[in-house]
Amino acid sequence: MRRLFVLIMAVVLVVGMSAMVAANGDYGNDYPGNGNEGPGHGGPGHGDYGRGDFAMITQLGSSNNASIYQKGNGWYHEHGGDNVGLIFQKGWGNNASLTQVGSDNFAVVKSFGYGNVVNQNQRGKDLVATVFQHGSSNRATQLQRGKYNVSLIEQAGFANTARTDQRGKKDMAIINQMGSGNNASITQL
């Protein structure tokens, strides 16, 4: 049941993100080793994917910062895929950092507003981490080690802080914050 929920959430997330990017008309795809050439110029099946990872950064606004570091195993198309990292930011002064080491990991940051901060760090296999932020000065941190863990954080409002730390197997953490000044932390070892 849990795997079905995660699969449904991932499909909804990918479809929603694709619609958002298409609606903006700004694909901003960053294919490692291809000089940020965008769709049709180095996308899937066109060149080296760099050890099976896929990364995409789209930023609209000003003074936004984003970074993705991924190290996977195998080739994306030939061996079923490894790590996928997507960052979308709209507004100004947002900061997002996404690190994935291992295989078959999936991470998303979607931050709209001002001065939001997201740090995601996943090391393991079959890990899923998502953060959705709407508002300003929100902070989210996700740390995951192990296998089959899922961490979902949604923040709407001002100056909310959320942190998940999962280091086991088949852990799930969900934090939903609305309003201002909320603090939440989930640790599962």
Q: How far apart are CA 77 and CA 81, in angstroms?
A: 6
Closest CA to 56 of 72, 38, 41: 38
Please tell me whether the overall predicted TM-score, pTM, comes out greater than 0.85 for this model: no
Amino acid at 11: V
Q: Tens of pLDDT along the chain (189 residues)?
A: 555 555 455 544 544 444 343 333 333 333 343 333 333 333 333 333 445 678 999 999 999 999 999 987 644 444 445 899 999 999 999 999 999 999 999 999 999 999 999 999 999 999 999 999 999 999 999 999 999 999 999 999 999 999 999 999 999 999 999 999 999 999 999
Order the strands of the 84-92 sheet from edge to edge.
54-62, 84-92, 106-114, 128-136, 150-158, 172-180
Q: Are strands 95-103 and 117-125 parallel, antiparallel or unpaired?
A: parallel
Q: How far apart are CA 149 and CA 143, in angstroms?
A: 10
Domain borders along the chain are 51-70+80-181
